[in-house]
């Protein structure tokens, strides 16, 4: 789900969020995540940060703790099977052991 949808599902008011850059660089998002700001929905320390774009308030930081993130997972840009295939290829190229779990076929790879 997109961040804007996640904010709505979690009942977050964009007016209550801090202003953010329109398109933050990875370093800006990473720096914010390192500060562990409070989750925008429940107030617990967050583990993820991103920007939502609200028509009335502009870009705003949207931070989620683990539980709120898992309740509103992001939409993958590619089908899960393709994502896992590419992840396995990258891990193999880097000679890194990799175990994946899917509810369809259980543990795969090593």
The range of the structural domain enclosing residue 83 comes to: 77-110
Beta-strand (E) ranges in the chain?
48-54, 58-64, 100-102, 106-108
As for how many domains the chain has, the answer is 2
The answer, yes or no, to whether residue 110 has pLDDT greater than 60, is no
Residues 18 and 67 grouped into a single domain: yes
Residues 65 and 81 grouped into a single domain: no
Residues 84 and 55 grouped into a single domain: no
Residues 25 and 49 grouped into a single domain: yes
Contact 64, 72 (CB under 8 A): yes
**Helix or strand holding residue 104 (H, E):** none
The answer, yes or no, to whether residue 53 has pLDDT greater than 80, is yes
pLDDT digits (tens, 9 = 90+) for 22-39: 999 999 999 999 999 999
Residues 65 and 82 grouped into a single domain: no
Residues 20 and 35 grouped into a single domain: yes
């Amino acid at each position: 789900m997109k961040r804007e949808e996640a904010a709505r599902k979690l009942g977050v008011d964009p007016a209550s969020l801090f202003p953010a850059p329109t398109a933050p660089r990875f370093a800006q998002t990473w720096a914010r995540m390192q500060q562990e700001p409070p989750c925008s929905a429940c107030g617990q320390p967050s583990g993820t940060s991103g920007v939502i774009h609200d028509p009335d308030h502009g870009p705003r930081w949207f931070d989620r703790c683990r539980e709120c993130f898992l309740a509103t997972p992001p939409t993958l840009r590619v089908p899960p099977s393709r994502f896992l295939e590419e992840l396995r290829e990258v891990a193999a190229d880097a000679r890194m052991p990799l175990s994946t779990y899917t509810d369809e076929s259980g543990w795969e790879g090593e």
